[in-house]
Chain A
Amino acid sequence: KQEVTQIPAALSVPEGENLVLNCSFTDSAIYNLQWFRQDPGKGLTSLLLIQSSQREQTSGRLNASLDKSSGRSTLYIAASQPGDSATYLCAVSGNQFYFGTGTSLTVIP
């Protein structure tokens, strides 16, 4: 069974700092990896999707990378803002989707 781990579970940074969120998975036979943002009491918003044949994807201040062979992905957030405060989840897809438990990010003004 696929296991997805996100470290750290919580992160607090001052506004303007660049940061990296980590996601690791145990089975490299995946179709793709998707990063989501979840605000308290809300649903999941898709941020980036990386197909298994790709190495990275970028959207604005966000950059996600994928290393299938090592079972790792990172989400890089540049110049963090208080509005980035949320929980960030990664999910890998094979026959099913498997989610990590998320990293709760707080950006301090």
Chain B
Amino acid sequence: NAGVTQTPKFRVLKTGQSMTLLCAQDMNHEYMYWYRQDPGMGLRLIHYSVGEGTTAKGEVPDGYNVSRLKKQNFLLGLESAAPSQTSVYFCASSYSGREVGNEQFFGPGTRLTVL
């Protein structure tokens, strides 16, 4: 049982390049989330999904797109990377989003640098 995995672990991009971050979970969780963590800002929610085929915006969605084609996978895309997107990105999943079952489990993170 691997839990939540993220690929890649590290990436360096030039301004304007695109990339996709992959998150996978093997816990049969319905909900999945993408966060970014910046010094002094804490974790902020980018996008989330409440089930296969669904996506919704979080607190800081601009410049990112997501897709949830399969229940176990949640992709985060940067179409045209900017230096302001330099951050550590975390994926998380939970069984539900309500009071019962919404304990979140996190992946190890992806450290992205945009030059």
Contact = CB atoms under 8 A, between A and B. Distances in A.
Contacts of A52: 99
B108 A89 contact: no
B104 interface: yes
B106 A51 contact: no
Given A49-B103, A51-B99, A101 B42 contact: yes
Interface residues of A, number: 23
Nearest to A6: B42
A44 interface: yes
Contacts of A89: 42-43
Nearest to A45: B106
Given A43-B90, A44-B90, A96-B48, A31 B109 contact: no
B51 interface: no
Nearest to A46: B103
Given A31-B99, A32-B102, A44-B90, A99 B109 contact: no
A81 to B, nearest CB: 23
Given A96-B58, A97-B33, A101-B41, A42 B103 contact: no
A44 B106 contact: yes
Interface of B: 4, 33, 35, 40-45, 48, 58-59, 90, 92, 97-100, 102-109
User: Which 7 A-B residue pairs are closest in the complex by CB-CB distance?
Assistant: A99-B43, A44-B106, A31-B99, A101-B42, A43-B108, A43-B106, A99-B42
16 contacts: A4-B42, A31-B99, A32-B102, A34-B103, A42-B108, A43-B106, A46-B105, A51-B100, A52-B99, A93-B97, A96-B45, A96-B48, A96-B58, A99-B35, A99-B44, A101-B42
